[in-house]
Amino acid sequence: MEIIGVTLEELEEIVTDFGEPRYRAQQLMEWIYKKGVADLSAMSNLPIAFQRCLQEAGFSPSVLLVEGAKQATDGTKKYLFRLQDGLDIEGVYIPEERRKTVCFSTQAGCAMGCAFCATGQKGLHRNLTTGEIVDQVLKIGNDRQTRITHAVAMGQGEPLANYDATLKALKLLNADYGLQIAARHLTVSTSGVVPAIYRLAKEETQINLAISLHATNDQLRSELIPLNRTYPLAVLIKASRSYARTTNRRVTLEYIMIEGVNDGEQDLKGLLMLTAGWLCHVNLIPYNSIPDSPYRPSQPRTRRKFLKTLQNHRVAVSIRQERGAEVEAACGQLRRRLNLDEQS
C-alpha cells in the first residue's frame, strides 16, 4: 500500500487507525517530501513499533525502483523506473539556470497511438497510481540533490485519461506538506481529451494546460493523432478557449514541425486562424526522429518563418530548445527503453 500517494488527511486516518496521534502523519510527510527519506526504519522520530506496524501492513514510502539512467551532455537525464508489477516507465530531468524540471509519466504505455510518438507503439499497459506518479519526481529530485521547481505531465501516457490519479499527484506536488511546487509551475499536456479539459477548468487551480495540436485541419490531425476523430479541432479549440477564459491561464499549443507534412503555407495560415483572438501560446517543436518513422524535422528556416509570421500577427510564440535527444529523452521519444550499458 502507498504512503507516498495519499494526502495529509488520508495519512492522518491511517496513523490513527494504528493508534498513533495525528501528528505522526505530518512527521511522515516531512521525512518523505522534505528530507527525501524512503526508508521507514530511518525515520528516527517515529516509534520503532509504529515503523514495524507500517512495514508489516505493507505501507511503503517508495513504490519505484530506479533501474537505470542516461545523461546527455546538456545535463538532461532520462530515468528508467521499474514498477512493482515489473512494468517500466520513464521520467526526464531537465536542468536550466533558473528552473529544474521533471517530465513525468502518467501511464505505462499509451493508447493514443500518435503517429510521431514512440511511447504508443506498444499500446497501453495500465494507468499509474498517484504514488507512482509522485515518486518519479521525488526519486529524480533526490538523485540530483536539488529542489524540483517545475513538473510536467508530458512523459509516457495521456494524463487526462488517468485524470483522478494525475490531478491528485499534482495537488501533492503543490501542497505545503508536499514538494511545494507552485501550481503555476505545473503543466498537464494532453492530446485533446475534451471532457477532461472542461473538468480541469472547474478545479480552481492555476495548473497550466498544453494541447498537442500538431495540425490545423482535421484530416491531417486525425492521421497524426487518432483521438481527433472523436474530438475534432473545432471541439478541441472551443474547449481550450474555454479553459483560458475560465482560468485566465494562457494555453500552450504544441506544434511539432514535420517536413512536408505540417509545415506548408496552408498549415501556417491555419495556425494563424486557430490562434486568433484568445489567450494562447504556440510552442514550435523540432520533430525528434524515432526508429522506423517516415518523418523528418522541418528545416530551421521553415521554423523561423513560422515564428516570424506568428510574431507579426501578435501571436505569442517560441521555438522549443530541444533537450536530451541524444539519450532519447526529447519530446516523442520516450518508449520504456534504456541501454543500461551506457548508464551515468
Which residues are identified as catalytic? Answer: 90, 331
Rounded distance between C-alpha atoms, residue 262 and residue 116, angstroms = 12
Secondary structure, 3-state, 97-162: CCCEEEEECCEEECCCCCCCCCHHHHCEEEECCHHHHHHHHHHHHHHHCCCCCEEEECCCCCHHHH
The residues near 58 (Cβ < 8 Å, ≥ 6 apart) are 1
Helix (H, G, I), strand (E, B), or coil: what is residue 79? strand
**Other beta carbons within 10 Å of 327:** 22
Question: How many other CB atoms sit within 10 Å of the CB of residue 9?
Answer: 9
Can you tell me the distance from the alpha carbon of 237 to that of 211, in angstroms, rounded to the nearest whole number?
A: 9
What are the backbone dihedrals phi and psi of residue 247, each rounded to the nearest 5 degrees, phi first?
-95, -15
Residues 18/50, Cβ–Cβ less than 8 Å? yes
